[in-house]
Homo-oligomer: A and B are copies of this chain.
Amino acid sequence: MKAEITTEEKIKVAAAKVFTKKGYAATKTRDIAEEANINIASLHYYYRSKEKLFQIVIGEALGTFSQIMDDIFCSELPLHEKIKEFVIQYIDFFSANPYLPIFIVSESQNNPDKINKILKNDQTIMNLRKELELLHEMKVIRQIQPAQFFLNLISLTAFPFLAKPLISKKMDLSDNDYVSILANRKKLIPDMMINFLYYEQP
């Protein structure tokens, strides 16, 4: 029953937790060391610097985040099923990692370069473009730019996680209220997307 977790891994997990919650600038290497229960020198022993450790953490965060959509849009599901899958999977993912959306969005503003390598899956966008064009030619859906389609989908899905404190206050909602609202959005968002896109509901 030995916990098979190395110091190196412990540090990365702790770093992910603290960086994700507080952001790069507000995170102190000592916060990470404390969270990981290790000496601060071990952090540098394994990862050299705060910056290098951060790059690893944000790289993995972006990778995971990106993988979900790439898998869905490269799948053989019909468009309306892709939409549903997208919403369900990301709402579940963000519910399990509530600080991730704001972390990714915040830090990607300061790391515009780092994003390049990870976030670019041309296949995903090419597939999406083809599919939207084809369905429009077949008079199944209205004409829409892939960027607009994608923005609609991800905006409706991700923003409620980003703005939870704001919306909760403004709307006077409890945490439970908010969970229930998010659950309802698993159906509402696809309904709205499909209602807008399709000439006849599939």
Contact = CB atoms under 8 A, between A and B. Distances in A.
27 contacts: A23-B25, A24-B26, A66-B170, A104-B166, A105-B163, A120-B169, A120-B172, A122-B172, A125-B170, A125-B171, A125-B172, A145-B184, A146-B171, A147-B173, A147-B181, A148-B184, A151-B156, A151-B181, A154-B167, A155-B155, A155-B158, A155-B159, A156-B156, A158-B159, A191-B196, A192-B196, A196-B196
Nearest to A159: B155
A50 to B, nearest CB: 13
Given A25-B23, A106-B23, A167 B195 contact: no
Given A102-B105, A106-B106, A109-B102, A160 B169 contact: no
Nearest to A70: B170
A185 interface: yes
B167 A150 contact: yes
Contacts of A196: 191-192, 195-196
Contacts of A42: none
Nearest to A158: B159
A169 B195 CA distance: 28
Interface of A: 22-26, 66, 102, 104-106, 108-110, 112, 115-116, 119-122, 124-125, 145-148, 150-152, 154-156, 158-160, 162-163, 165-167, 169-173, 177, 181, 184-185, 188, 191-192, 195-196
